[in-house]
Amino acid sequence: MQHSINIEGIKLYAYHGCLEEEAKIGGNYIVDVYITTDFTEAAKTDDLKKTVDYCAVYEISKAEMAIRSKLIEQVCQRIFDKIKSDLKGIKTLHVKVTKLVPPMNGDVEKVSVEVRS
């Protein structure tokens, strides 16, 4: 059986970007994580150890977002890799990092990147 665990709208403040100003003032980001797994045993036993702990997903996202990068592509890949290596039982993983109001020569609401398996 296949089940989904979705952690959406992880709101974080971070200092990513190619511009010096971004390193100093930072900006708002949203991380979304989508996991397919089999939590049949967890559903039967009510045991957190039998599923993917979404609090751990949040902590990984928060920790990786705290490490400055010029590109959100690198941040997204780091979050993906860390979740995949640290958490067991993941069949597929999809991580999306969104940068709100990026500094561009135009009115742009957000830019996002995604990594999927």
pLDDT, tens digit, 9 for 90 and up, residues 43-96: 999 999 999 999 999 999 999 999 999 999 999 999 999 999 999 999 999 999
Predicted pLDDT of residue 1: 79
Predicted pLDDT of residue 2: 86
Query: In this predicted structure, which of 4-8, 67-71, 102-106 has the lowest mean pLDDT?
Result: 102-106
The answer to whether residue 31 scores a pLDDT higher than 90 is: yes
- CA dist 13 and 99 (Å) reads 10
The CATH number fitting domain 3-116, selected from 3.30.1130.10, 3.60.15.10, 3.90.1580.10, 3.30.70.920 = 3.30.1130.10
Give the residue extent of every domain in the chain.
Answer: 3-116
User: What is the pTM assigned to this prediction?
Assistant: 0.95
Q: Report CA-CA distances (Å) from 72 to 1, 4, 51.
A: 33, 25, 28
Active site residues: 99
Q: Kindly state the average pLDDT of the residues 18-34.
A: 95
